[in-house]
Structure 1
Amino acid sequence: MTSATREPETPSSTVPPRLIATDLDGTLLRDDKSLSPRTVAALAAAEDAGIEVFFVTGRPARWMDVVSEHVHGHGLAICGNGAAVVDLHGGAGAHRFVKVRALARENAVDAVHLLRDAAPGTVYAVEQTYGFHQEPAYPELHMEIPDLRAPAEELLAPDGPGAKEPVLKILAFHPELDPDAFLGLARLAVGDRATITRSSPSALLEISGPGVSKASTLALCCAERGISHEEVIAFGDMPNDVEMLTWAGRSYAMGNAHPAAIAAASGRTVANNEDGVAVVIERVLAQRW
């Protein structure tokens, strides 16, 4: 069987799960960005069984409409690769920021300069809690109109646009570099001034505050609930999921996953288009009784 169609490998564990943490794009969502009826039913069944579900994504809060109707209980999601915890109970356009782990503007400016020196031709966008700004040369990657176009240094200035609004992450795009090579180069160039990862098939990097990741914010949310990492099952498919897949007691890389995610996870499941998350949840619930 190919990796996309093989039966899921289920890591053995004697610890009952209390929380499921799942990435969205390429993981829970199908390629058309929909949730299948099977997946919706599996998420509801997990919640009914007393297992909390956290959506943990690189998406900004304003892109969470696709799952806002499927939140249960706490209604929380981790967005921006760990930069924000958002309450989705209000529905589309009415989300509330519960926790923000901002990227300091001085760190962001340092990252811009260091990466521009290391990879000439890099262009940037700035993601804030509500605003989105980009440099004039930054491509239209996100199917949305930026609030402002200006050089990154202007966008990140202390008195720049949205100066009172936290910066969640900056996005760095290079038109020619290999995505993984760009990631490695950026991490070397920027060092500990920021956390750098990627989730796009293109050479698009996501730059957050030092120590900010899906895993570190998920760990904070779990600690608040008295949940240990052994009681967490995580799902993901891209480099921005690696820390979360490593941290969780049980973790699954999708059949369509990046090699880094496969190496980090303790198990495999089938591809996102084959409801790989639902397949594992159904099996886990069946094993509990």
Structure 2
Amino acid sequence: MGAVTDTSRTRLIATDLDGTLLRDDKSVSDRTVAALAAAEIAGIEVFFVTGRPARWMDVVSDHVHGHGLAICANGAAVVDLHRGRQIIDVRPLDRDDALTVVSALRAEAPGVSFAVERTGGIHFEPAYPALHRDPVVSTAPVEKLLAPGFVGGVGGSGWDGGGGWDGGGEYGGQPVLKLLAHHPELEPDAFLDLGRKVAGSHAQFTRSSPSALLEISGSGVSKASTLARSCEKRGIRPEEVVAFGDMPNDLEMLCWAGTSYAMANAHPDVLAATTHRAASNEDDGVAEVIERLLVGG
């Protein structure tokens, strides 16, 4: 599994959730809960660093103990789990950049559909598949979803198909955390490569889903860049951070941290980019490494 950093030099553990800390059924094992608590007792901070939105952080809300910070939406939002999953910092995607990405992907990947993740919820195009567990806030063409004055229908369509609106809450003023692009036929990594090629100068592209689903953030926004900002505020250096991940959206973070572990179940690119290995998420790989870290070996 590789060497473990000396606990005297480790000040922070940064861990992804899905496919990493969480088991496949989205549960947190008792062993993992105990390991996270032991790390905190030893004076090591724990950050959850995930592509999930704040509202999906209930999976770890009962296990935060002293650690209350989560970096969500691939770095676009910092969330205080001790204050009801309140978003305390946002790094938004610019509307003009989002529209440029939409235009480029539509031209190069016919059949693509979009969703817009704002701080207050997610909004879908009619053709976008129901990939998420929470209900869509509004349904409309993505140009409408990105409009500054966008008004959405709560739990239904905010656009009547003829240019009008059916009421609901004001969403246009909420920052855009992510633009999501889904393609029904393309291979996931090929779709990611395409997105970066045609619009990578306007936004940050990554993926974490097994399907052809791109997660698009503002330029320079990633798990790594937001983690680095958070660590700098605390006087924590990269070499004092141990990070865990499994998918392409973890790559920058794993390369930034002084010590990084790819899960045994990780994407091939993640395995190739990291030196150390942890057991799979089903085998409590994060907990196992923390346990060895705390005993100095």
TM-score normalised according to structure 2 size: 0.91
Q: Deviations over 1:108-129 (max 9, x none)?
A: 1111111111111110000011
**Which amino acid counterpart does residue 286 of structure 1 have in structure 2?**
V
In 2: Cα distance, 1:152 partner to 1:225 partner: 39
5 Å-filtered alignment, 1:50-61, equals 50-61=43-54
Report the RMSD for the aligned CA atoms in angstroms. Answer: 1.3
Partner of 2:64: 71
CA contact (8 A) 2:4 2:289 kept: no
CA contact (8 A) 2:5 2:293 kept: no
Aligned to 2:263, which of 235, 247, 254? Answer: 254
CA contact (8 A) 1:11 1:266 kept: no
Q: Deviations over 1:54-96 (max 9, x none)?
A: 0000000000001011113351100000000000113xxx221
CA contact (8 A) 1:75 1:87 kept: yes
Partner of 1:222: 231
Specify every segment of 5 or more residues in structure 1 that has no aligned partner in the other structure, as ranges.
1-7
5 Å-filtered alignment, 1:94-133, equals 94-133=84-123
Q: Deviations over 1:218-244 (max 9, x none)?
A: 000000000000000000000000000
CA contact (8 A) 2:40 2:67 kept: no
Partner of 1:3: none
Partner of 2:14: 21
SS for the counterpart of 1:81 is helix
CA contact (8 A) 1:56 1:78 kept: yes
Alpha-carbon offset, residue 164 of structure 1: 1.0
SS for the counterpart of 2:292 is helix
Matched, 1:82 2:75: yes
175-184 vs 144-153, which deviates more? 144-153
In 2: Cα distance, 1:251 partner to 1:62 partner: 27
Partner of 1:5: none
CA contact (8 A) 1:23 1:241 kept: yes
Aligned to 2:188, which of 179, 190, 205? Answer: 179
4+ residue stretches of structure 1 with deviation over 3 A? Answer: 11-15
Specify every segment of 5 or more residues in structure 2 that has no aligned partner in the other structure, as ranges.
152-170
Alpha-carbon offset, residue 48 of structure 1: 0.4
Aligned to 1:144, which of 127, 130, 134? Answer: 134
CA contact (8 A) 2:52 2:73 kept: yes
Partner of 2:165: none
Partner of 1:286: 295
Matched, 1:160 2:150: yes
Alpha-carbon offset, residue 287 of structure 1: 0.3
11-20 vs 228-237, which deviates more? 11-20
**Which amino acid counterpart does residue 143 of structure 1 have in structure 2?**
R
Alpha-carbon offset, residue 11 of structure 1: 5.1
In 1: Cα distance, 2:62 partner to 2:5 partner: 32
**Which amino acid counterpart does residue 29 of structure 2 have in structure 1?**
S
**Matched residue pairs, number?**
278
In 1: Cα distance, 2:116 partner to 2:140 partner: 10
CA contact (8 A) 2:6 2:293 kept: no
42-51 vs 14-23, which deviates more? 14-23
Percent identity, aligned pairs only, is 65
In 1: Cα distance, 2:275 partner to 2:13 partner: 15
TM-score normalised according to structure 1 size: 0.94
9-18 vs 175-184, which deviates more? 9-18
CA separation of 1:41 and 1:11: change in aligned 2, threshold 3 A: closer
SS for the counterpart of 1:193 is coil
Alpha-carbon offset, residue 13 of structure 1: 5.8
CA separation of 1:154 and 1:280: change in aligned 2, threshold 3 A: same
Partner of 2:197: 188
Q: Deviations over 1:101-145 (max 9, x none)?
A: 000111111111111111111100000111210000000100222
5 Å-filtered alignment, 1:32-47, equals 32-47=25-40
